[in-house]
Amino acid sequence: MNKRHKFALVQFPFLAIIFFFIFNAVAIYYFPGSEKSIIGFQSDYYSFTHNFFSELGAFTTSPDELKGAVKIDNTLSMLLFNASLIIVGCSIMLFYNKLKYFFERKKDSAKTIYYFNLARPLGMVTGLLFAGVGLIQHDLHFLAHVFCAHGAFLTLWVLSMVHVLAVFHSRHLTNKYALGYLIFFLILAIYLGIIFLGPRIGPGLLYKESDLILQVVAQKIIVLTFIVSMLIQLYGINKMFKASDKIN
């Protein structure tokens, strides 16, 4: 198989996941802490229950505090977090740009190729929106940042369903790979319900500590679920490459 396809469909996405974990681990370690006066929360570290991922990407700490809070420079964490999202966004775009052609070369079913053809523009938009989350910082333009974040998960939800249908009809990927993405699709549907219908968190808004924890923890769960689902797909596609190498 073409080495460029393997890079786009296995190697680069896997590297993007590794970079995401490493960059965010360092960003979390150096995060100076934050203050949320509405709920009386203050810390000198990153809280997995009280800090969104996007707070790592802000120029300063306490980006939602309109006045009164001490804002500390957050440049190092900001650069690392935003770089990780841009890399992930680029990997999603490259992955779905090449996926259709890979299955065409494998002479997969017409329905699989059709669905991956639909997934291609959806993947481009999803990847662009994830990169946009990293390019537009939380405290640079809050509404634009939220638009990219919510839009990324919404298009990812549609994309995951199309991906499930493509794998379900595939002659080369078994249905267990479709099941992995289907579970992610269902969990993501719950998360979308939380972010669009649940408590609103943002500058100048009143909310309870339990509201914040719900949104923050749900965000962590959906990100980890997406990573696991993607790793399962990469494993399946890599097995296809190995099978082709043996034939050749």
Which amino acid appears at position 149 of this protein? A
Question: What's this model's pTM, rounded to 2 decimal places?
Answer: 0.89
H or E element in which residue 35 lies: strand 34-36
Print pLDDT tens along the chain (248 aa): 577 788 889 999 999 999 999 999 999 999 998 888 888 888 889 999 999 998 898 888 877 676 666 778 889 999 999 999 999 999 999 999 998 888 888 888 999 999 999 999 999 999 999 999 999 888 888 889 989 999 999 999 999 999 999 999 988 888 888 888 899 999 999 999 999 988 888 777 788 889 999 999 999 999 999 999 899 888 888 888 877 656 55
Q: How far is residue 198 from each of residues 59, 195, 201, 208, 214, measured CA to CA in Å?
A: 27, 6, 9, 12, 9
Taking alpha carbons only, the member of 230, 209, 9 closest to residue 120 is 9
Both structure tokens of 214? 């719900």
